[in-house]
């Protein structure tokens, strides 16, 4: 594997790329974290009942 310096990566590309092992790992963490966050928000939103308005 190539290091971040050897691949001429700058800025956020150092942390999220498909060249280095750390970059690939960070992409996986970001994807799984996003999926978990969406799941958790949907779960929290579904659990609270809607407030009904009286007529």
Q: How many domains does the chain have?
A: 1
Q: Is residue 53 part of a domain?
A: no
Q: Report the alpha-carbon distance of residue 17 to residue 7 in Å, rounded.
A: 10
Q: For the whole prediction, is pTM greater than 0.85?
A: no
Q: Report the alpha-carbon distance of residue 11 to residue 53 in Å, rounded.
A: 51
Q: Is residue 54 part of a domain?
A: no
Q: Is residue 41 part of a domain?
A: yes
Q: Which domain holds residue 41?
A: 4-47
Pairwise pLDDT comparison (51 vs 19), residue with the higher score: 19
Q: What is the mean pLDDT of residues 23-52?
A: 89
Q: Is residue 30 part of a domain?
A: yes
Is residue 25 predicted with pLDDT exceeding 90? Answer: yes
């Amino acid at each position: 594997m190539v290091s971040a310096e050897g691949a001429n990566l700058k800025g956020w590309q150092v942390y999220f790329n498909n060249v280095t092992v750390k970059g690939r790992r960070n992409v996986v963490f970001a994807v799984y974290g996003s999926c978990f966050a969406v799941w958790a928000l949907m779960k929290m939103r579904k659990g609270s009942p809607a407030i009904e308005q009286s007529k």
